[in-house]
Amino acid sequence: MSRRVRVSAGVVNLADEGRPAPGDSPLVLLHGFTGSMNSWLGVREHLSLRYRVLSLDLPGHGGTDIGSDLSGYSIESTARTLIETLDTLDIRRFSLAGYSMGGRLALFVALQYGARVERLILESASAGIAESKQRLRRRAADAELAAFIDAAGIESFVDRWERLPLFKSQRALSAHVRERLRQERRSCKPGGLRSSLLAMGAGSQPWLGARLEEIKVPTLIVVGALDDKFIGIGRELAAGINRSRLVIVAGCGHAPHLERPAEYSRIVIEFMDTTSCITNREN
């Protein structure tokens, strides 16, 4: 069921699905840059059979509207908007899964609102950028990309975005899934993507790597076997988070939930149902 929730920053668009057992807390899904709540369609059909699943359009994406003030798109403001949305829905405790940009947000939420989070799932996510000069370079690159969106328009931006080496493995997706993904990206509002890049890019958020030991909840880290960069980052996260498990999904790249939805769902369900025995290990 699609819902629109009014919060102090504006309106958050989300899907609320599933039939949980009495007393179960929901699983909240946070998409990546250029995505939306529909990025999770392939896994929602599996997960919603077992859990209440909420998938949100993050600021700058989908049907969520928080206005044009750039400060509302920062990771701090976005985390507050997420918590306010869940408060409005009377959800106090939840499990949280995030992909890429959404994974960085999920990690931030777990650090800032740790008492609210029961389990944490980080897919192809990072703790930000540790070195200040690298953060500056990343902010400059994001500013250049934001200017390109303004100058060239959404069609040219999507063409450029889909040619990134990071998404090479997605060329093996079915024509139907590739077209759905392309339409999702093309439906983004240029101004929303621009604001998201400038305020919530990895170079704009605080470095969270020094705080990983503060994560006390069971944590699942998921990366694709074809994504060498994020395998390394995933191992760093797993080394820093005590109750964590790293899973490397065969045959896929940066987006296991998209490229291997059934396998991703199986991994998440196993984690959700067996978190009491999680220790540091890698599959």
pLDDT for 102-112, tens place per residue? 999 999 999 99
Q: Model's pTM, two decimal places?
A: 0.95
The pLDDT of residue 1 is 83
The pLDDT of residue 19 is 76
Q: In this predicted model, what pLDDT tens digit does every residue of 196-206 receive, in sequence order?
A: 999 999 999 99
**Average pLDDT over the chain, rounded to an integer:** 95
Q: In this predicted model, what pLDDT tens digit does every residue of 77-93 receive, in sequence order?
A: 999 999 999 999 999 99
Structure tokens at 221: 């880290």
Q: How confident is the model at residue 279 (pLDDT cuts 50, 70, 90)?
A: very low
Q: How confident is the model at residue 13 (pLDDT cuts 50, 70, 90)?
A: very high
CB count within 10 Å of CB 156 equals 12
Is residue 156 over pLDDT 80? yes
Q: How confident is the model at residue 281 (pLDDT cuts 50, 70, 90)?
A: low
The pLDDT of residue 20 is 73
Range name among 19-23, 65-69, 76-80, 241-245 with the lowest pLDDT average: 19-23
Q: How confident is the model at residue 21 (pLDDT cuts 50, 70, 90)?
A: low
Is residue 242 over pLDDT 80? yes
What single-letter amino acid sits at 208? L
Is residue 177 over pLDDT 70? yes
Residues 6+ apart with CB under 8 A from 193: 33, 34, 60, 61, 146, 149, 154, 157
Work out the average pLDDT over 163-187: 95
The pLDDT of residue 277 is 42
Structure tokens at 210: 């020094």
Work out the average pLDDT over 239-262: 97
- Residues 215 and 245 sit within 8 Å (Cβ to Cβ): no
Q: Which long-range contacts (CB under 8 A, 24 or more apart) does 104-109 make?
A: 104/75, 104/128, 104/202, 104/205, 104/208, 105/30, 105/58, 105/75, 105/78, 105/79, 105/200, 106/30, 107/208, 107/215, 108/75, 108/76, 108/79, 108/205, 108/208, 109/79, 109/82, 109/83
User: Domains in the chain and their CATH numbers?
Assistant: 2-131+205-282 (3.40.50.1820)
The pairing of strands 53-56 and 10-17 is antiparallel
Work out the average pLDDT over 98-126: 98
Give the C-alpha separation, 5 to 29, whole Å.
Answer: 16
Is residue 35 over pLDDT 90? yes
